[in-house]
Structure 1
Amino acid sequence: MGGEPDDAGHRRAPSGCGAPVRVLICDGHEVLRHGLRTVLRRTPDLAAVAEAADGDEALALAAAHRPDVTLVGLDAADPVVQDLVRALTALGSRVVWLGEPGAGSDLVDALRAGVRGYVHTTVTPQRLVEVVRAVVRGETVLDAAVTGELLHRLDGGRQPTVDSGTSPHNPLTARQQAVSQLVAEGLTNAEIAERLQVSRVTVKGHITVALRRLGLRDRTQLAIYVNRAAGSAKGRAAGPREG
């Protein structure tokens, strides 16, 4: 459940350093929220003021607690999450996005929405603390792993689409691929949400972005695309037939 962590209100910054930086945690996975809370608890100049499991809860808590920084572990490609980032920014909170490795293609949209920092979910505790401190100083911090892709996008580079056939780069993030695979298996949005332990709104957002990136019209075309891609992969793995 979201809400105020047990240690909030008892945290004190080192003498002479002023009040701790107030941080709101927003992530759909309880284990990740616990890990982030632990990192903040061990850092005297940072304090976790509240936790949220989804965007709606995060926005309500941000309005109540007015955090200096919000750590968002939701999919930034989801238009709903981008709206969340804009709303958090309007409330005066600097947003740090915790993205999955390989999700750098979403960074342009995230920056346009107002994200001030980007790190992978695999970030070290020390690096995460450095990023939070940097965005509080007014800096924009990007993970080095996505800087090259960001420059490529800004220079007019295009992501491959469904028509590229044998492209070595899949334009979908790992989570978008997982959702697309479940669509291909015939699961409803509700069933996918339950399977992945996310909200139905998040599932819908993943599907919407996947359709846009692949140039497809609906979930039926998405299912066909996934099944054809799987068939092609099996064919390549089998190799040429003898005789």
Structure 2
Amino acid sequence: PNGTNINYRCGAIYPELIQKAVGEHNADIGIALDGDGDRVIVVDEKGSVVNGDHLMAICAYDMIDRGRLNFNTVVATVMSNIGLEVALENKGGRLVRTQVGDRYVVETMRRTGYNFGGEQSGHLIFLDHITTGDGILAALQLLAIMQRKERPLSGLAGIMDSFPQVLHNVRVREKKNVDEIAGLKELKDQLEKDLKRRGRILVRASGTEPVIRIMVEGEKEEQIHAIALTMGNHIKSVFGI
């Protein structure tokens, strides 16, 4: 270690190593943390990566079963897959979304009385135990669920199906708030109606460069690609690109 190589080719951002180890040791689960230990990514017994959205679904189902999830509600960010929302609704729960960043998840939880939330990236926050993400605590909670349910991780993760997602970046001439782009909100509202509550559109400006980021989720890949392209072309036309 030299101060600049934290998690270099290992840990949560390089799950390939833990996938290989799970296969070599015929393990039930592989666990990887990030550099500061507040995120966890796991690998199931088949070698498939299980991200934070699936982990939140697994933990939420268990907490609902035991009457431990306040208001049957999970707090996550706008980046969590709509499949998490559907999975929670199937269990009688619901998802509350915040802007990107685990700090906003925690702020919402503390303000509203919700006690569980996280991010797709692997931050899991169990507010009954701690006020921040903790990869080791999250891993222990997951292991306890596997023990209680007596089911392999792949079976537990099957409670949620991730919807197809497409990301489309449009480089513009200058930084601009998306609310200031003429006609964009109206177009977004119309296209979301076409998704019939089985998908969503997220449009946001990059905080570091003159780029508008478009994310579309839905059940049909062809449809969401077309929607992303339509949104991108509208933005280009407004900027005269």
Using the size of structure 2 for normalisation, the TM-score is 0.30
Q: Structure with the greater relative contact order (CA < 8 A, sep ≥ 6): 1 or 2?
A: 2
Q: Which is richer in strand?
A: 2
TM normalised by structure 1 equals 0.30
